[in-house]
Amino acid sequence: MIINKPALITPSILSANFAKLGEEIKQVTNAGADWIHIDVMDNHYVPNLTIGPMICKTVRAITTTPLDVHLMVENVDSLIPEFAKSGADIITFHPETSKHIDRTISLIKESKCKAGIALNPTTGLHYLDYVMDKIDVILIMSVNPGFGGQTFLPISISKIIEARRKIDIWENNTKTKKSIILQVDGGVNVNNISKIRSAGANAFVSGSAIFESINYKETIDTMRTEITKSDNLK
């Protein structure tokens, strides 16, 4: 089902050491990161406060790796242009934070970024029904958003399977060359990434499993090995 789709490892800097963020970015990029995941939280939509466009701009200045910005904020439309100007390549938002989902997607596209929709564990996949032709990424949250280091919710597997089914049906019916990326965020590690891949994901956000490991390259390489094992079983 997904064996021909690329597997993207996207370390989340939420778990990085911010006292030496530049060094952390360089190390994880050299270790093989495909994207850098930037979690933006406003202490309103989620109970945590993290970073703004200035940090995104700082990260952009030290790497050419695509910046994957995940907005967990209210009034999301006001921040999209700022993050786009600061170097974001992908901007993902939660449908609950938008007054008009199609308009928010259009704003991201007008800002020359790829657009993604993020779905919390209790948010239904029906939000995807009328926007599949407009989005580039579907992000399945496998924890409740707000904090790093949480444990993967097993119930997420069935949701990933169903999201992959919807993507495959849409791609087959439209005969499009466009491929929607199915990303999973929350508790992803070397022990469960194979199962997540088998369910249909092809982008994997991992924070503490990478940044709290002794050797970033070894951890990312192990993740890729586990993904390959999963693909070879098909």
Task: Tell me if 198 is assigned to a ligand binding site.
Answer: no
Task: Tell me if 12 is assigned to a ligand binding site.
Answer: yes
Task: Tell me if 22 is assigned to a ligand binding site.
Answer: no
Task: Tell me if 206 is assigned to a ligand binding site.
Answer: no
Nearest alpha carbon to residue 86 among 54, 51, 62? 54
Task: Tell me if 187 is assigned to a ligand binding site.
Answer: yes
Residues with Cβ within 8 Å of 15's Cβ and at least 6 positions away in sequence, in order, are: 148, 149, 207, 208, 210, 211, 212
Nearest alpha carbon to residue 164 among 194, 190, 132? 132
Task: Tell me if 148 is assigned to a ligand binding site.
Answer: yes
Task: Tell me if 18 is assigned to a ligand binding site.
Answer: no
Specify the residue for token string 């965020």.
Answer: 185
Active-site residue numbers? 39, 185
Q: How far apart are CA 104 and CA 76, in angstroms?
A: 8
Task: Tell me if 116 is assigned to a ligand binding site.
Answer: no
Task: Tell me if 87 is assigned to a ligand binding site.
Answer: no
Residues with Cβ within 8 Å of 59's Cβ and at least 6 positions away in sequence, in order, are: 13, 21, 25, 36, 38, 67, 87
Task: Tell me if 146 is assigned to a ligand binding site.
Answer: yes
CA distances from residue 200 to 83, 99, 118, 119, 230 in whole angstroms, order as listed? 29, 30, 16, 16, 10
Q: Are 105 and 135 in contact (CB under 8 A)?
A: yes
Q: Are 10 and 33 in contact (CB under 8 A)?
A: yes
Task: Tell me if 32 is assigned to a ligand binding site.
Answer: no
Known binding-site positions for substrate: 12, 70, 146-149, 185-187, 207-208
Known binding-site positions: 12, 37, 39, 70, 146-149, 185-187, 207-208
Known binding-site positions for a divalent metal cation: 37, 39, 70, 185
